[in-house]
Structure 1
Amino acid sequence: MPTFLSYSLEKRLSRRRHEFGRGAIEGVAGPEAANNAAAAGVLVPLLTIGLPTSATAAVILTAFQSYGLQPGPQLFTESGDLVWALIASLYIGDVMLLVLNLPLVRLWARLLTIPAYGIYAGVLVFATLGTFAAGGTTTDLLILVGLGLIGLLMRRADVPAAPAVVGLILAPPAEQQLRRALALSGGDWGILVSGPFTVALWIVAILALLAPAVVAMRRRGAADDD
């Protein structure tokens, strides 16, 4: 999610939007910086409240639970050595990245000379293998092809794919939490607006949905006035 959001923001703020998708440096540096920041940032909610916010954090949480460790405030006192060793590994990883990237920077730069169709073919092969390995049915492959065609149509229509990807990631946990809330309330939907905090969150969500449309309408009105 940070990668897609960063790319969308960089494209929105850039004065050279036509270069995005064709090698614009902002479209490379911004998402990569966001990805690196999120890689370590996911450990904060994971270690403090046991909330995985990425696939990597989910794997770490599963590993913790397999050894009988439950991330949370008590983890720092009960298994402090493990937590600080994990944090120290991040610094070691940064040093290793520096050691590897500086001498091999020319090699990584040459990867940009690979034709786009070669990258697309490789992504398609790995996506197909991953889909078949996860489900092992023809239906999964048909869904993959269908989603790929939808993505192609969205790109042709200049519709951003980032919101759709974010929705696919957040929809399953959101549905799970909704079912849990309804189960605790005995099917009463009023629990979703039962307190000032939940009402404030609904207001923020509605404003986030309406703000882009309002801004676009204002810009369109300003352009018509000019």
Structure 2
Amino acid sequence: MPDFFRVLFASLLLAGAALLPSLALAHTGTSVAGGFLSGFSHPILGWDHVLAMVAVGLWGAFLGAPAMWLLPVVFPLVMAFGAVLGIVGVPVPAVETGIAASAIVLGLLIAFAARPPLWIAAIIVGAFAIFHGHAHGTELPDAANSFAYAVGFVIATGLLHLVGIGFGLPVKKPAGRIAVRAAGGIISMVGFGFLLGLA
């Protein structure tokens, strides 16, 4: 089964890599391709977003099925809702603090091997997704196609979740479990760095 996930992960990365050059050459402005490319690159170019989204996949892999699949579905769905709030101008307080806190909290949950009930894990992930989505929505480029932009950042988010799941798959082995928990600790420390303006 892990071989299947590795093949799936590699296939998704290759598909994304094959898609990017054609999008980069496409017309920008209000075009679908320009909006998609802007949205796709936005989460990947922000390390605070990358850490939190990888952490969601990593925690899901640590918790095992069905959390491994549910959490990476909950996050983008709620994030899209947060993006709508940002696009239409609904204020969400302390967005940057919430984004940094997401890395801190998710990292600590992994480091301390927290295993809450699935519904609580989903609420935690969903709450942080609102901050990430709002940040994406408020930073929507004026020239971008908003729907294509949203599709782009949701797909990029899903790929980052898959990266976390991929790193978390060895968790069933003792050494893998230690490595995953150590990764959670590192994510949390970097999150503190973002919170304090050090990273």
Q: TM-score range by the shorter chain?
A: under 0.3
Higher RCO, Cα 8 Å, sep 6+: 2
TM-score normalised according to structure 1 size:
0.25
TM-score normalised according to structure 2 size:
0.28
Which has the larger Rg? 1
